[in-house]
Copies of this chain bind each other. A is one copy, B any other.
Amino acid sequence: MSNKKAIIVGTLAFDEIETPSGSSGKILGGAASFSSLAASCFGVDSAIISIVGKDFPDEYLDIFRKRNVNMEGVEIDKSGDTFYWKGRYHTNLNRRDTLVTELNTLANFKPIVPESFVKADVVLLGNLHPAIQHSVLDQMKTKDTTVVLDTMNYWIEGAWDDLVKVVAKTDIITINDEEALQMTTANNLLDAAKKIESMGPSYIIIKKGEHGAMLYHNNQTFLAPAALLDNVVDPTGAGDTFAGGLVGHLASSPIVDFETIKTAIVYGSSMASFCVTGFGTKSMINVDLEMASKRAKELQSLVRFEL
């Protein structure tokens, strides 16, 4: 077990998901839930920074407490309800429509980093308004923290100036393929990665869904596979789970370099492959490092060939 510390900033939420195979009802969701369930498998000293409302069940908080996740940074705002999202997936699960978004107490979210985590080794800035992501970095009392940022089209379109500021302070960015092209007006992923590199991050991870992920760093590239699955139930949270597995491995590694990040991506991909086989966080509750390592070995064998 490592003594390294990891902060996970993101939403704790209620999700309600409809897919061709059924309806989830109102369940635990949010980027921080998925990321934290994945990261906590690595035995790192982690903390969630988030906000919930008066309706958030204590049993849900216990899920994280039982995994030794520090919850001091989770504000319980009695003035309202927890962030709620409802979505419906199309037949092939590649597209979804948002049916309802209720920000509720998330509108009041002002992240506060617990004193014991202001020198954390890794911080994962989950998908949130980039100004909120930045406010976490402002509270850090060391320059050695590895900053991992996840973002999406919503902020590219609606909060560009703030996004540029937080991207400039990012070491490792994770972004979807379409969004990487949108953000850079590039025609291909290699160009997009180079353009994002010029904005600040040393390591650019472009997520390609079922096609895996690409890592770019200083003219070096790596392609990580995604597991071949025929039992996908719900893709919600796959990206957050990926980021959580990535951060969990990084926080349990003595150094952070190209080789370590390659392995971390494979662990992220491994974790995500479990996530999508059940509604919401359901599958992630039972995943452990042994299962993730076994799946990572399968991914290694999936791409191995002789010349």
Chain A contact residues, CB within 8 Å of chain B: 91-92, 187-191, 208, 211-212, 214, 221-225, 228-230, 232, 259, 262-263, 265-266, 293, 296-297, 300, 302-303, 305-307
Minimum CB–CB distance from A49 to chain B (whole Å) comes to 31
In the bound assembly, the distance between CA atoms of A172 and B153 in angstroms comes to: 41
Q: Does A230 contact B266, Cβ atoms closer than 8 Å?
A: no
Residues of chain B with a CB closer than 8 A to A92's CB: 187
**A190-B229 contact in complex given A224-B305, A306-B259, C-beta closer than 8 Å:** yes
Q: Does B211 contact A228, Cβ atoms closer than 8 Å?
A: no
**Other-chain residue from B223, B262, B306 in contact with A262 (beta carbon distance below 8 A):** B306
Determine the main DSSP class of A at the interface with B. mixed
Minimum CB–CB distance from A182 to chain B (whole Å) comes to 12
* Interchain residue pairs with CB less than 8 A apart (14): A91-B187, A92-B187, A190-B228, A211-B211, A221-B228, A222-B303, A223-B225, A223-B228, A223-B302, A259-B305, A263-B306, A265-B305, A296-B307, A300-B305
Minimum CB–CB distance from A259 to chain B (whole Å) comes to 6
Minimum CB–CB distance from A186 to chain B (whole Å) comes to 9
Interface centre among A223, A228, A266, A293 (most CB of B within 10 A): A223
Copies in the complex: 2
**A266-B222 contact in complex given A187-B92, A228-B214, C-beta closer than 8 Å:** no
Residues of chain B with a CB closer than 8 A to A91's CB: 187
Minimum CB–CB distance from A219 to chain B (whole Å) comes to 11
Q: Does A230 contact B190, Cβ atoms closer than 8 Å?
A: yes
In the bound assembly, the distance between CA atoms of A244 and B235 in angstroms comes to: 37
In the bound assembly, the distance between CA atoms of A108 and B11 in angstroms comes to: 65
Closest residue of chain B to A296 (Cβ to Cβ) is: B307
Residues of chain B with a CB closer than 8 A to A307's CB: 263, 266, 293, 296-297, 300
In the bound assembly, the distance between CA atoms of A293 and B300 in angstroms comes to: 22
Besides A188-B232, A266-B307, A300-B307, 10 other A-B contacts (C-beta < 8 A): A92-B187, A189-B228, A190-B228, A190-B230, A208-B211, A211-B211, A222-B302, A262-B305, A262-B306, A293-B307
Minimum CB–CB distance from A52 to chain B (whole Å) comes to 35
Q: Does A188 contact B303, Cβ atoms closer than 8 Å?
A: no
Residues of chain B with a CB closer than 8 A to A191's CB: 230
Residues of chain B with a CB closer than 8 A to A265's CB: 305
Minimum CB–CB distance from A189 to chain B (whole Å) comes to 7
Minimum CB–CB distance from A26 to chain B (whole Å) comes to 27
In the bound assembly, the distance between CA atoms of A189 and B232 in angstroms comes to: 12
In the bound assembly, the distance between CA atoms of A305 and B257 in angstroms comes to: 13
Q: Does A221 contact B302, Cβ atoms closer than 8 Å?
A: yes
Pick the 4 closest A-B CB pairs, nearest first. Answer: A211-B211, A190-B230, A262-B305, A303-B303
